[in-house]
Amino acid sequence: MSCDICGEELFGRSRKISVEGAVLDVCARCAHLGKPYSPSVGSAIPLLPPRTRDMHAASTRAPPITRGPTLPKVYEELDLVDGFGKKIRDARERVGMTQAELGTRVKERLSILQKIELEKMKPNTDLCASLEHVLRITLLSPRKEIPITAVKVDKVDGLTLGDVVKLKRKK
């Protein structure tokens, strides 16, 4: 068994200390780094022999979290409309709300809403959805794909890149 702090092999009896709520088995040199551990009645950490404790911790470990795509497919294909700041300001004034009242309704800070209305900052999709709901406007529109047309060049007059570049050849 080794010290949980310095990693040295423990000979003889180890010392149990508590460091910020964690119970560690440490050597005599590292014992001053924490408070002596004394289990209390109803303690959340059971005092088990070292091997049993390690096996117990391994069996109760939560499975790793796997994260999927950050946005739902619906939001990936939406873009923010042009002139969103003016649209938000006009709708807010139409309903008779101040920026502070709107911030309270959509649970966002006043400074963020001010920046969004001045278009110095773009709102995220969650905030867009909240603003759309409260102000009854549309801020997210379907993404428009620009068709790409191929341009066919028959003959190039004048200089080409090959005319300008001097190639060095290995001897």
Q: 3-class secondary structure for the chain?
A: CECCCCCCECCCCCEEEEECCEEEEECCCCHHHCEECCCCCCCCCCCCCHHHHHHHHHHCCCCCCCCCCCCCHHHHCEEECCCHHHHHHHHHHHHCCCHHHHHHHHCCCHHHHHHHHCCCCCCCHHHHHHHHHHHCCCCEEECCCCCCCCCCCCCCCCCCHHHHCCCCCCC
155, part of any domain: no
At residue 160, the pLDDT reads 73
Give the tens place of pLDDT for each residue, 35-90. Answer: 888 776 444 555 555 555 445 555 566 666 666 555 555 556 788 999 999 999 99
In a domain, 85, yes or no: yes
The boundaries of the domain holding residue 85 are: 73-142
Q: Is the pLDDT of residue 13 over 50?
A: yes
Task: Give the per-residue pLDDT at 42.
Answer: 46
Residue 43 lies in a domain: yes
Please give the C-alpha separations between residue 105 and each of 12, 92, 98, 132, in angstroms, as whole numbers: 64, 12, 11, 12
- Output the pLDDT for position 102: 95
pLDDT digit string, tens, across residues 95-124: 999 999 999 999 999 999 999 999 999 999
Residue 158 has pLDDT above 80, yes or no: no
- Report residue 2's pLDDT band, with 50, 70 and 90 as the boundaries: confident
Q: Quote the number of domains for the chain.
A: 2
Mean pLDDT of 18-27: 85
Residue 171: pLDDT band with limits 50, 70, 90: low
Instruction: Report the interhelical angle of 125-135 vs 84-95 (nearest 10°).
Output: 30
* Shared-domain flag, residues 43 and 94: no
The CATH number that applies at residue 134 is 1.10.260.40
